[in-house]
Structure 1
Amino acid sequence: MGNRIEQELTEDLLRELQEEHYVMLATIDQDTKGPSVNAISWIYAADRNTIRFAVDRKSRIISNIHENPAAVMTVIADGSTYALSGKSKIVQEKIDNVPVKLSMMELHIQEVKDVMFYGARLTHEPQFEKTYDEDAAAKLDRQVMDALQSV
C-alpha cells in the first residue's frame, strides 16, 4: 500500500510484535548528532502505543537515548515495512533474573508509517538464527521476554 500513516500499532502489527522479532532501531548519536542504526530482536509490544525492548547495558543506544529520546524502529512485517516513530526512555537500568547485563527501554509510539515503496509487497520477512548454544539461547530468550512482559 505504501505511505499509510497511523497514530498507533494496527492489530496485526500488535500481534506480530508480541514476540521476538528482527527490527532496526535508529537513534541520534550523542557525539556526531547523526543517525545511528542497530539491529535488535528482544522486543515486546505492551500495547498499541508502547514497545519494550532489551539492549546490552553498555550499548550506545542507551547513551544516545539519554541525550535525545527521539527514535525510529523499522519493522518488516505483514508484507510491508513500517517506521514506528516516537520517544524512547529507559524503564530499568538493570533487568533482574536475566544472566546477561541488559537494560529495558520503551518506545512510546507517536506515528506508525507504512514506508514500503509503491506497488510492492514483501514476499519473505527477515529470519535469523542464534549462533550460540541452542538451549542456552532459548532459555535466555524466555527470560528476557518474560521480563519485558512483566512490567
Structure 2
Amino acid sequence: MYVVVLGIGGWAMNRAIDHGFIIGPGFDLPAHFSPIYFPMGNAATGFFVMFALIAGVVGAASAISGANHVRSWNPNSMPAAASAATIAWTLTLLAMGFACKEIQLEIRNARLRTMEAFLIILSATQLFFIAAIHGA
C-alpha cells in the first residue's frame, strides 16, 4: 500500500513541478504565493503530498525491516523493526491529518482521494503491524 501512495504522490509532485509557477526576471509573484503550490487539489494538497511521500518511503523501509525480522526471527532484529514501524506510523498519522484537512476543504481529484483513502487505511494497518512485531 505504501508503494501505491508513493506512485500517486510521485505523480502529484511531478505535475506540480511541471505546471507550477514560473518565476524569473519580469515575472511577479502571484498575490497568494505558496512555495508548495499544487495545480490540483486545495490549500492542503502540497503539505499532504509531501508528508505522504515521506511516510511512504519510511513505511516501505519499515516493511523491509519487518520482513527481515520475520526472516531472521531473533531478538536482535526486533528493535530495528519496531522503531522503523513506529516512525512510519507517526509519519503516516501526520499525513493522515493533512488528508483529513484536504477532505474538509473538498476540492480534489480522484487520485488524491485514492491517496487519502490509502493513508487512512495505512494509519490503522501500520498500528497492527507494530503490534504484530511486538507480539512476535
TM over 0.5: no
Q: TM-score, normalised by structure 1?
A: 0.25
In terms of fraction of residues, the more helix-rich structure is 2
Larger Rg: 2
**Bigger relative CO (Cα 8 Å, ≥ 6 apart):** 2
In terms of fraction of residues, the more strand-rich structure is 1
Q: TM-score, normalised by structure 2?
A: 0.27
